[in-house]
Amino acid sequence: MSIPNILMTRIDNRLVHGQVGVTWTNSLGANLVLVANDQAAGDLMQQNLMDMVVSDGVQTRYFTLQKTIDVIHKAAERQKIFIVCKTPQDVLTLVKGGVPIRFVNVGNMHFSEGKRQIHKTVSVDDSDVVVFRELEQLGITCEIRRVPDEAGEPIAKLLV
């Protein structure tokens, strides 16, 4: 079993939008955007909308979390993979399922009832905090960074 070439994993509650589909993909040199999300995996309309904002020549896959876990190790070496998830909980599910994620870019986690804002674009609730701490304990760096040319900020420092 080969180790998949995962360039980065991003948490973004909007999944793929212009910033992700073009800016991040180009900056990483990714040729495959893998959206690991149970709902998006079954929503063709949402997939079509996301496909429209991905750079030419970049493939997209929309897999459930379980399918991602099942097939990630079959990825070809030439596939430079950029994984996009909706929540930290989804990332933890992938990690516990054996997906070799070492670094998580936290992009957007919108404010909603029961969440507190810890950064311009990131709001968390207690469950998110527990999950981010668990990811850090597993040796996975989680960093808030909206765009590639911005300095990243370790989320651990903001989870007080």
CATH number for position 18: 3.40.35.10
Tokens 């957007």 -> residue: 108
Tokens found for residue 137: 């304990």
Q: Is residue 93 part of a domain?
A: yes
Please give the tally of structural domains in the chain: 1
Average pLDDT of the residues in 82-87: 98
Q: Is residue 1 part of a domain?
A: no
Positive/negative CA dihedral, 16, 98, 30, 75: negative
pTM over 0.75, yes/no: yes
Q: Which band of pLDDT confidence, cut at 50, 70 and 90, is reported for residue 14?
A: very high
- Give pLDDT tens digits for 127-150: 999 999 999 999 999 999 999 999
Q: Is there a domain that residue 46 lies in?
A: yes
Q: Indicate the residue type of 19.
A: Q
Q: Residue written as tokens 């973004």?
A: 12
28 domain-assigned: yes
Which range of residues forms the domain containing residue 59? Answer: 6-157
Cα–Cα nearest to 135, from 107, 159, 119, 108: 159
23-57 pLDDT, tens digit each: 999 999 999 999 999 999 999 999 999 999 999 99
Secondary structure (DSSP) of 33-52 = EEEE-HHHHT-HHHHHHHHH
| Spatial separation of the C-alpha atoms in residues 11 and 5, rounded to whole Å | 18
Q: Active-site residues: which are they?
A: 17
**End-to-end distance of the chain based on CA atoms, in angstroms?**
40
Output the average pLDDT for the chain.
Answer: 95
